[in-house]
Amino acid sequence: MRAIHYLIIHCSATRADRDFSVEQLEAAHRARGFRGIGYHYYVRRDGTVINTRPIARVGAHCKGYNRHSIGICYEGGLDAEGRPADTRTPEQRASLRLLVWQLLGVVGRNVRLCGHRDLSPDLDGDGTVEPEEWTKQCPCFDVAREL
């Protein structure tokens, strides 16, 4: 098992009023040059959790952090007009919470739980990544506070 220091939550950045299947996710990642889905888990709108990459295999989901992280993506993240929004269904919320709890039991509790946006560069060098420094909104909620 590789050393894990981060559990990183993502959204698929797709509209909540449209399905985005595992096959579509894989096609999107392959179109970006990946060798399959870069996340380790994908949480569908109905709460189904799909293991998309073994956790022993390095992910392709957060540049500079992949080697020591597990990537978890939920389906959605954009509202019906295509704007970033927390679109998680109650089923996704419950599944994400359970998955994180289970992973902490496997990798240990001494990991940082964060959203992709939280790993944006600290542009002003004050030691905190503020919302105006986020390179993206993903996952559109405060992971550390909520999970």
- Is residue 65 a contact partner of residue 80, using CB atoms and an 8 Å limit? no
pLDDT of residue 69: 98
Domains and CATH numbers, the chain: 6-146 (3.40.80.10)
Determine whether 42 is an active site residue: no
Determine whether 74 is an active site residue: no
pLDDT 10s digits, 30-48: 999 999 999 999 999 999 9
- Cα 94 to chain centroid distance, Å, stands at 15
pTM (2 decimals)?
Answer: 0.93
* More confident call, 114 vs 125: 114
Among candidate residues 29, 40, 116, 140, the one labeled active-site is 116
